[in-house]
Amino acid sequence: MMSGVVLTAALNAGGAFALDFNFNFSGGGAPTNPATVTGLISGLVDNTNNQTSGLTVTITSATNGPVGGFPLFTNYSFFEGIDVSNGIITDSQILFETNLFNLNLRTGPGNVPSLDAKDFSFTNYGSDNSLVFTPATSSTAVPGPLPLLGAAFAFRASRQLRRRFKATV
């Protein structure tokens, strides 16, 4: 009975996916106009609503970005989070903050994606939201064969223990 539980857990573990998405948006900004921001968001889980934890955002480029580069965004400030359905981001309303940078990833009409810092600001001021998410090719599945091998090992070990226990009784 125990080995069946272990096997079921191992099979379920092999089905989870960590999704990565590239994103970009364009708009007005200082010091340059127009401005373009691109980045990568990692750690999204498929078929979730309002995910706010476990996310990592990296800015890969921005027009005239800061000399020291951009921080890694791992903490969100507020809004609802990110919805993913069948490998597609269906809604994004989340603000990432560090001491000097704010990254606002909001989709939908009337929302304004933006990247703001002390010395520059890039904001999509248009009536149409230009924030676009595209699946990154580096999406990785949780290893499937490894849990299966572990389940097989656990099953074999439990049979050996059972035989030893019967032999001593």
Tens digits of residue pLDDT in 106-129:
887 778 888 888 777 778 766 566
Residue 161 exposed, middle or buried by CB count within 10 Å (0-12, 13-18, 19+): exposed
pLDDT at position 139: 45
Rounded to whole angstroms, the Cα distance separating 57 from 20 reads: 10
pLDDT band at 92 (very low <50, low <70, confident <90, very high): very high
- Percent of all residues in the chain with a pLDDT value above 70, rounded to a whole number: 77
* 28-50 pLDDT tens trace: 877 777 778 899 999 999 999 99
* Lookup result for tokens 């000097």: 100
What is the enclosing helix (H) or strand (E) of 24? strand 17-30
- Asked which of 25-39, 44-58, 140-154 is least confident by mean pLDDT, the reply is 140-154
pLDDT at 16 over 90: no
Position 23: which residue type?
F
